[in-house]
């Protein structure tokens, strides 16, 4: 965990999804960075995200290459486009993998981590 992304992970302790905004561009910045890639300025602040979005792209993984919290069941790796614009690589849970479609509305849900932080995942909205 880098210092830059620390506010993101701190917020997950309260199950809050936050993203960086560049106040100069008035645009979201994702992944957490020290400067805005749009203007190279550092006028960045953290804002609460709605936690809503839609599936932009996804794949169904049938045989995990590594141990995952999801066991041996097929799971969905998705690029979710937040209502605010950024796209997050995440998992879609809470529904059969074969029911996931591009454009499907999703909302954030949280997977508890052992250290008190929470991992943002998405479920059908």
Per-residue contact flags (x/-) with Zn ion for residues 80 to 119, judged by CB under 5 A: ----------------------------------------
- Tokens representing 106 are 């999703």
- In sequence order, the 6+-apart residues with CB closer than 8 A to the CB of 14 are none
How many CB atoms are closer than 10 A to CB 93? 18
10-18, 32-40, 59-67, 91-99 -> range binding Zn ion (CB under 5 A): 32-40
CA dist 85 and 88 (Å) reads 10
Per DSSP, 25 falls in state T
Q: Least distance (Å) from Zn ion to the CB of residue 34?
A: 12
Pick between residue 39 and residue 48 the one whose CB is nearest to Zn ion.
39
The yes or no reply on residue 60 touching Zn ion (CB under 5 A) is no
Interacting residues toward Zn ion by CB under 5 A: 22, 24-25, 36, 38-39, 41
């Amino acid at each position: 965990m880098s210092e830059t992304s620390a506010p993101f992970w701190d917020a997950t302790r309260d199950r809050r999804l936050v993203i960086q905004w560049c106040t100069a561009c008035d645009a979201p910045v994702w992944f957490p960075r020290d400067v805005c890639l749009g203007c190279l300025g550092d006028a960045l602040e953290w804002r609460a995200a709605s936690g809503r979005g839609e599936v932009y792209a996804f794949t169904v993984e049938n045989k995990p290459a590594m141990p995952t919290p999801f066991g041996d069941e097929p799971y969905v790796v998705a690029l979710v486009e937040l209502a605010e614009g950024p796209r997050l690589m995440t998992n879609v849970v809470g529904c059969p993998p074969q029911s996931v479609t591009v454009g499907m509305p999703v909302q954030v849900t949280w997977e508890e981590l052992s250290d008190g932080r929470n991992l943002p995942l998405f479920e059908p909205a």
